[in-house]
A and B are shown apart, each in its own frame.
Chain A
Amino acid sequence: MSDTRQIAVTVNGMRYEEIVPVRVTLADFLRHQLGLTGTHLGCEHGVCGACTILLDGRSARSCLMLAVQADGHEILTVEGIAPNADTLHPLQEAFRDNHGLQCGFCTPGILTTLIELLRDNPDPTEEEVRIGISGNLCRCTGYQNIVIAALDAAKRLRGSSGASQP
């Protein structure tokens, strides 16, 4: 059985019309068919959070969706966070400056998760940040610098309300 469907999705502001096998997950579609390998696959069953993307502005695990389900929807991946190729998003800058990543495998999922969190709650407490990223596993950092980076990013974003944000 090789059922396929044509889908139209907007990813990081670009519209794609693609034919996909119906059983392909959104994560594999993004990585293999669109070449957007920034979305990482850790566990592929919804536990690690590395594949988190924003679907119509809401965070979701892309390993737990079929690509066909994204038809007609808008997706933001880690590649779409920065305003352009030469400038980092304030959240990314905060991660760089605070050593918020080591191997970097979990980082794309943590950044996309935090984009939503900081949009909905621009001034979170440390506790709220910890709960917010509780669905993202990091095996390097012990989370300490991730939390510091997230709080720093919140401060930067509050200070630069004019900056472009996805």
Chain B
Amino acid sequence: MKPPPFSYHDPRTVADAVDLLTNLDNAKLLAGGQSLMPMLNMRYVLPDHVIDLNRVEGLSYITRRDGVLEIGAMTRQRDIEFSEAVAERCPLMAEAIRQVGHRQTRNRGTLGGSLCHLDPAAELVSIAAALDAKVTIAGKSGTREIDFAAFPVAYMTPALEPDELLTAATFPCWPRGHGYAFVEFARRHGDFAIVSAAVLIEEDKSGKIARASVTLGGMGPAPVRAAAVERALIGETIEEKRLRDICEPLRKLDAIDDIHAPASYRQQLATVLPRRALIKAHERIAPGGRP
């Protein structure tokens, strides 16, 4: 297994990368390479041009500002894993990233690569959905920002024009002391999840849920925000039996049926994992977390 022949380009600026994308046919962007390289080695993709983003300046950073974390597209997953800003302001991401592959792949793999590859079960894709992230996209006519919710357009297909690339993602942070949990079911540590649940909650003084975000990964082509469950949780207190009832309708979600698990198995997980995540999130609400 060897990559097929291609021409190799290693631009130094985003503008040069956009120029190459505009002028070259059948080009693929190479970020951390942890998905594209296997696809090249196995010849699932046959690009005429590979545009390597690893030498582009200014795409690797984690910035904290006005209640958001902005993370550059070429930021390595390892740097997110060890970032104090992420651990402090976005603990859900810090928890999820440790389940992305292994140390050897996180050292190379990038945020932007993971978001654009859009594997249905990818942890970072679920986190972007759970946090209502926005993505910044650079193209020939300048940059634009869109909601991550509108980014997946089909199975493993992001809303990118052929001359565009993702340059950053912005994650709104929840208030200090909120509850969070990322729970996934995978056969082995480091595998893609069969199903994952990402949960964020805020509770009021009396312990009633005031705000909730519940996201399921691995069910369909893109992460599913369980909006009905999020609404049903408002005003509830975390109690296992009640959560069973609230999460039961998730069994009706459409689910992928593949070699890893039949749809009915995923649907069962969809009722179980959010419940476990909600309980864990509740236990993590810091004593000062309730206003």
Contacts and interface: CB of A to CB of B under 8 A. Distances in A.
Contacts of B38: 45-46, 64
Given A46-B34, A46-B38, A61-B104, A69 B190 contact: no
B227 interface: no
Given A25-B41, A58-B107, A1 B7 contact: yes
A132 B107 CA distance: 13
B117 to A, nearest CB: 13
Nearest to B40: A23
A64 B108 contact: yes
Contacts of A24: 2
A144 interface: no
Contacts, number: 93
A23 B6 contact: yes
B191 to A, nearest CB: 10
A55 B78 CA distance: 14
B260 interface: no
A134 B108 contact: no
Main secondary structure of the interface of B (DSSP, over half): loop
B8 A5 contact: yes
Contact of A23 (B5, B107, B108): B5
Contact of B105 (A61, A68, A117, A131): A61
B107 to A, nearest CB: 4
Interface string A73-95: 00000000000000000000000
Q: Choose among B8, B40, B52, B104 the residue with the greatest number of A CB atoms under 10 Å from its CB.
A: B104
A23 B4 contact: yes
B7 A22 contact: yes
Contacts of B5: 1-3, 23
B101 interface: yes
Interface string B5-48: 11110100000000000000000001001100110111000000
B244 interface: no
Contacts of A25: 2-3, 37, 41
A10 interface: no
B188 interface: yes
B259 interface: no
A23 B103 contact: no
A116 interface: yes
B52 to A, nearest CB: 6
A113 B34 contact: no
Interface in B86-111: 101-105, 107-108
A65 B108 contact: yes
B103 A3 contact: no
Contacts of B42: 45
Contacts of A64: 33-34, 37-38, 105, 108
Given A61-B108, A135-B103, 5 more contacts: A61-B105, A66-B3, A66-B8, A135-B104, A135-B190
23 contacts: A1-B7, A2-B5, A3-B8, A5-B8, A22-B8, A22-B50, A23-B5, A23-B8, A23-B40, A25-B2, A28-B2, A45-B37, A45-B41, A60-B108, A61-B108, A64-B33, A66-B30, A68-B8, A68-B52, A69-B33, A113-B103, A116-B103, A117-B103
**9 closest A-B pairs by CB:** A135-B102, A45-B38, A22-B8, A64-B37, A1-B5, A58-B107, A23-B3, A134-B189, A59-B104
Interface of B: 1-8, 10, 30, 33-34, 37-38, 40-42, 50, 52, 54, 78, 101-105, 107-108, 188-190
